[in-house]
Amino acid sequence: MSTISDPPSGSFQLSMLINDTRYRSYTFQFIALILLILAFAYLGYNLLANLQAAGLNISYKFLGEPAGYDINQTLIPYTSQSTHWQASLVGVLNTLLVAFLGCIMATIIGVVVGVLRLSNNWLVRQLMSIYVEIFRNVPVLIWILIIMAVFIAVLPQPRDFRGDDAEASMVLGMFAFTGRGFYLPAPVFGAGSGVVVAVFLASIAGIFAFRNYAKKALYERGQLIPTFWPSLAIFFIPSIIAYFILGRPISLEYPELKGFNFQGGIFMRNSLIALWFALSIYTAAFIAENVRAGILAVSKGQTEAAASLGLRPGRIMNLVVLPQALRVIIPPLISQYLNLTKNSSLAIAVGYMDLTGTLGGITLNQTGRAIEAIFLLMLFYLAISLGISAIMNVYNNAVKLKER
């Protein structure tokens, strides 16, 4: 039996607060708390004194007042008579739009480059590592500004499309790439288009159900059901049939040159596109490194073991390498998405009206409500990153190696 000697009993002495480890942590925490309160009190006192001296107060009433400025790229209806709150909302949606587009494109480029960096082809390998090194080692702000400048300088202006012997012409008669922005055809939803969309969504759900069924058949009965071609068929055929049965309810509205500019269609401003491209290719360089590291992290023995079981290369990739590589790739990938979202605040450098441009830019300058505007701005980004971190934790717990 082991004996644990009791701590020396005796009356409490003041010096024990410093010398006794049982109490010392309380002393330190108490001191830290006092210092923290003092610091906050000092900062708060300064804030109040400064506000009073400037004749200001903290109030969020400005959000309800008319904004009085125009925003050139909006996803929701907005006029200069709308409130600052609506302007901020436009900004939020614009931030989310560029972040969403950027994440998709960065993933595609990043995965391709990451895989090509491991290719057998020496030349491609070198080119890809040059790409990764150049983009990783130069600030994203410079890339945004370069792409914006090149974009304006290289692409034709809308006026170049005019006349019979125009210098520029539309691609396929549908897309116009101008220095002012891209004009794309817009879908017009007629009567009955809801059904087509519903059928399309249902067929996507159908693909997932089918894949689940195929997986179950493989694991439980060892029955191999091909998935690629049936998925493709489910994806296209029902929607196309519904589209034609209902008499083609969805049509495209093409952009047309009227006067000095294009009308109709979807307009993506040059600032949005420059920001989107720059963020994508910059983040893709980082994603490529993550993908490469993830693939290299799967030991060669795994591939060889799978091959010795008689799996074909495609199945080795799908069933053995990818599931293990994804566990390594996805956490840094998500933090790259987060970085991209935060970097999208650089939109202000090219005049794209994201939240930093509206709430943190024009609204702040017009109303002079610096503290409130920046507080809200930070709160928004904080909410996004904490939300994504929460999702990441859930994912990490889900794919964690089940150790026994």
Partner 1 sequence: MSDTHAQSVAFVRDTMLPEQPPPASEAGVIKWMRENLFKGWFNSILTIVSVYFIFKIVTGAFPWFANGIWTTNSLAECREILDGATGACFSVLTERWNQLLFGFTYPPEAYWRPTLAFFMLIVAIAPVLYPKAPRQLLIFTGIYPFLAYWLIWGGTLLAPLMVLVGLIAGYFAFKQFERQSFAMGMLAGIVAAIVVIWAGGVIPASMPDVLALQAIQSRDLGGFMLNMILGTVCVSLSLPLGIMLALGRQSSMPIIKWICVIFIEFIRGVPLITLLFVANVVLAYFFPPGSNIDLVLRVIIMITMFSAAYIAEVIRGGLAALPRGQYEAADSLGLDYAQSMRLIILPQALKISIPGIVNVAVGLFKDTTLVSVISMFDLVGMIRGPILASTEWNGVYWELWGFAVFLFFIVCFSISKYSQWLERQLATDHR
Give the binding site for partner 1 (CB under 8 A).
18, 25, 28-29, 32-33, 36, 43, 46-47, 49-51, 53, 116, 119-124, 127, 133-134, 136-142, 145-146, 149-150, 153, 342-343, 345-346, 348-349, 356, 360, 364, 370-371, 374, 377-378, 381-382, 385-386
CB-nearer residue toward partner 1: 82 or 95: 95
Q: In angstroms, what is the minimal distance from the CB of 378 to partner 1?
A: 5
209, two tokens: 């159900």
CB-nearer residue toward partner 1: 227 or 366: 366
| Contacts with 163 (C-beta within 8 Å, 6 or more apart), sequence order | none
Residue 90 and residue 74 in contact, taking contact as beta carbons nearer than 8 Å? yes
Q: In angstroms, what is the minimal distance from the CB of 212 to partner 1?
A: 32
26, two tokens: 């309380």
Q: In angstroms, what is the minimal distance from the CB of 298 to partner 1?
A: 21
Q: In angstroms, what is the minimal distance from the CB of 80 to partner 1?
A: 24
CB-nearer residue toward partner 1: 323 or 387: 387
CB-nearer residue toward partner 1: 82 or 343: 343
69, two tokens: 């400025």
Give the C-alpha separation, 81 to 65, whole Å.
9
Give pairs for 360-369: CB < 8 Å, separation 24+.
362/67, 362/69, 362/87, 363/62, 363/67, 363/84, 363/87, 363/88, 366/67, 366/68, 366/69, 367/62, 367/65, 367/84, 368/56, 369/59, 369/62
- Greatest alpha-carbon pair distance for the chain in Å reads 103
Q: In angstroms, what is the minimal distance from the CB of 309 to partner 1?
A: 25
Q: In angstroms, what is the minimal distance from the CB of 15 to partner 1?
A: 12
Give the C-alpha separation, 401 to 164, whole Å.
66
Q: In angstroms, what is the minimal distance from the CB of 238 to partner 1?
A: 34
CB-nearer residue toward partner 1: 40 or 189: 40
Give the C-alpha separation, 148 to 246, whole Å.
43
145: number of Cβ within 10 Å: 16
CB-nearer residue toward partner 1: 234 or 340: 340
CB-nearer residue toward partner 1: 193 or 343: 343
93: number of Cβ within 10 Å: 17
Identify the H or E element spanning 30: helix 21-54
